Amino acid sequence: MITGATSGIGRACALRFAEGGYDLILTGRNADKLEAVKQAAENKGAEVLTLQFDVQKRECCEEAVASLQGKWSQIDVLLNNAGLALGLEKEYEGSMDDWETMIDTNIKGLLTMTRLIVPRMVERNHGHVINIGSVAGDAAYAGGGVYCATKAAVKAITDGLRIDVAESAVRVTNVKPGLVETNFSVVRFHGDKDRADHVYQGIQPLTGDDIADVAFYAASAPEHVQIAEVLVLATHQASGSVIHRDMNRKENLS
């Protein structure tokens, strides 16, 4: 099961896991995009079930999970990917609506899906939870305090879950990407693509496929191996706030 599977890292993970022989439960808010990624995954040989709902809404999450029947209720991997950043204002000038959306999606949505899926994994003594965190969870950066706090929460929640299931064979992984070129920045800047494009100037960023490869590697490790945490950065990125940019890169010349 992959949440937020309609674009970016989620979509890339859907296609990578389809290639790896998994059948997929894909969730997202946009029906058309869900159908598109479903078709792409089916073309790679996967059997796919889609569930359209917003992880911010607990009742919808509960209804979606309750609807799963037969093999679909026996989830081997839960990939909590749904998440977003909104705004880059100073904390004392930020939008409270943006804050609520980030907290409700990045923290509460992840917790809800974990609470609904993991009990069956523990009961079966088999399963894997992969949470998509961020380098932003390691340290705050200017204008990103609330988003960074949500990703720090993802780290703490992931570590706490790993402790809580240690007596079982359920594995728990936190994948923490750095600069990944998806629609992430377009969403953060509320559709301002020009501003979003500047985020990736002067550096070759990661792609959704890069992160999908890491998630699949973690899921494919032998049963006795638990990849607890992976920090994945672009080559010229040292941390969430330290990036070396070469503004003479050809793709950045007009």
Show which residues are catalytic.
Answer: 147
- Tokens 């070396």 appear where? 244
Tell me, letter by letter, the H, E, C secondary structure of the chain. Answer: CECCCCCHHHHHHHHHHHHCCCCEEEEECCHHHHHHHHHHHHCCCCCEEEEECCCCCHHHHHHHHHCCCHHHHCCCEEEECCCCCCCCCCHHHCCHHHHHHHHHHHHHHHHHHHHHHHHHHHHHCCCEEEEECCHHHCCCCCCCHHHHHHHHHHHHHHHHHHHHCCCCCCEEEEEEECCECCCHHHHHCCCCHHHHHHCCCCCCCECHHHHHHHHHHHHHCCCCCCCCEEEECCCCECCCCCECCCCCCHHHCC
* Residue 192 near residue 153, CB atoms below 8 Å: no
Phi, psi (5° rounding) for residue 47? -90, 130
Q: Which residues pair with 206 in a beta bridge?
A: 180
